[in-house]
Amino acid sequence: MANVTGPTLYSTTTQSGIDINSVFFLDPVNALEYPTPPFQPGELAWGTDGSEWVYCTASVSINAGSGVIIAPFPGNWSVQALGGGTGGGTVVFMPSVGATNGLTVTNPYGALCGVVGGSAGLMTVNAPSGTQTAAYFWVQRAGNVPNLAMAGTGSTYTQLHTTTTAGALSSAGGTQSTILCIAGIVFTQSTASTTGPNPAIANYPYVGASVALTG
């Protein structure tokens, strides 16, 4: 099947200021008029095509369409691109906003996941710079996803897992000793290249069971 562009999403939540394409940078030195982010991390919003979004934070760069893992620290809602480590399985969480030392978790079973990309899967999150301490943005957790980064094979409606490319998922075979299985998200259309767009559907994805994959 030829490349098919995914849906363009927008917020339907009746709350002022929600922009799923916006990245807010907290800057306590040069932007004193904005002492806090516009929404609290963990706040939810709803949009078209069954989409649900959660407000998160990060202190690292995240490419458009990346699958991300949400840190399991209560009240933190810090995200990191899935995979990218040795064998694609190592995940480094940032334990606090702006922290430079991370906690390495090799099998965070049950941790929440989502997709970064905004309304068309094209939104990139840049790392904070200068006096900026953190970036804040909306992460999609449910509904039709316009673009999910893919590496290797992206078969439709097939179990996905992390890869050595940070944020990109694959349906190719592997074992849990080198990857993280991600449940609750699948590619829905075949695409011509790993550059996408790769439409997917998310059903509240999370780090799944330790199982061997075939294919």
pLDDT tens-digit readout, 73-129: 666 788 889 988 777 877 777 555 444 455 666 678 888 999 999 988 899 999 999
**How far apart are the C-alpha atoms of 68 and 112, rounded to whole Å?**
9
Query: Which residues fall within 8 angstroms of residue 74, CB to CB, at 6 or more apart?
Result: none
In a domain, 8, yes or no: no
In a domain, 98, yes or no: yes
Asked if the structure places residue 18 within a domain, the reply is no
In a domain, 35, yes or no: yes
pLDDT in the model for residue 83 = 86
What is the pTM (predicted TM-score) of this model?
0.86
Tell me, yes or no, whether 14 lies in a domain.
no
Number of domains in the chain: 1
Residues pairing with 135 in the sheet: 25, 58
Report yes or no on 196 lying in a domain. Answer: yes
Domain that holds residue 37: 24-207
- Residue 107 within any structural domain of the chain: yes
Does 9 fall in a domain? Answer: no
